[in-house]
């Protein structure tokens, strides 16, 4: 799938410590060894803010990208298995306990 990098997000924080930890926590996957960009083998990863290349979905998501891809504003091709975790903390780590449990269930059901 094709993603677009969102710039100017470095000041955004969440309670997970880093956006990479945020991704690991809510994707249900472990942090990959390499950047998820399909032809990239960089190992220095960050949790990057991206958007789907779609007019209907303007939400921001987190995916593990290398620092180089995180700095580029271009579109990025990633494998379809990559889980997009919502960057909106009120949907994820800032939810109440009850909310976060149901939210996780919702996320898991979205996984293919
Ligand atoms: Zn978080
Ligand atoms: Zn990369």
Distance from the alpha carbon of residue 63 to the mean position of ligand 1, in angstroms: 13
| 23 neighbors 64 (Cβ within 8 angstroms) | yes
Summarize the confidence of residues 59-66 as an average pLDDT: 96
Residues whose Cβ atom is located within 5 A of ion ligand 1: 14, 16, 22, 93
Spacing, Cα 19 to ligand 1 middle (Å) = 6
Task: Indicate which ligand has the atom closest to the C-alpha of 65.
Answer: 2
Say if strands 2-5 and 45-52 run parallel, antiparallel, or are unpaired.
Answer: antiparallel
Give me ligand 1 centre to Cα 3, in Å: 20
pLDDT in tens, 9-61: 878 889 999 999 999 999 999 999 999 999 999 999 999 999 999 999 999 99
pLDDT value of position 89: 94
Arithmetic mean of pLDDT, 62-79: 90
Question: Percent of the chain, pLDDT > 90?
Answer: 71
What spacing in Å lies between the alpha carbon of 107 and ligand 1's midpoint? 14
The span from the CA of 62 to the CA of 83, in Å, is 9
pLDDT value at 111 more than 90 = no
Asked whether residue 105 carries a pLDDT value surpassing 80, the answer given is: no
Overall pTM surpassing 0.85 (yes/no): no
Secondary structure E strands in the chain: 2-5, 45-52, 60-66, 75-77, 85-86
């Amino acid at each position: 799938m094709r993603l677009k990098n969102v710039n100017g997000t470095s000041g955004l924080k969440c309670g997970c410590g880093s956006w990479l930890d945020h991704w690991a926590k809510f994707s249900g996957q472990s942090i990959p060894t390499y950047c998820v960009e399909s032809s990239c083998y960089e190992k220095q990863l960050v949790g990057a803010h991206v958007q789907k290349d779609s007019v209907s979905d303007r939400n921001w998501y987190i995916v593990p990208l290398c620092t180089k891809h995180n700095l580029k504003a271009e579109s990025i091709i990633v494998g379809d298995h990559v889980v997009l975790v919502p960057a909106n903390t009120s949907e994820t780590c800032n939810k109440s306990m009850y909310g976060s449990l149901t939210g996780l269930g919702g996320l898991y059901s979205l996984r293919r």
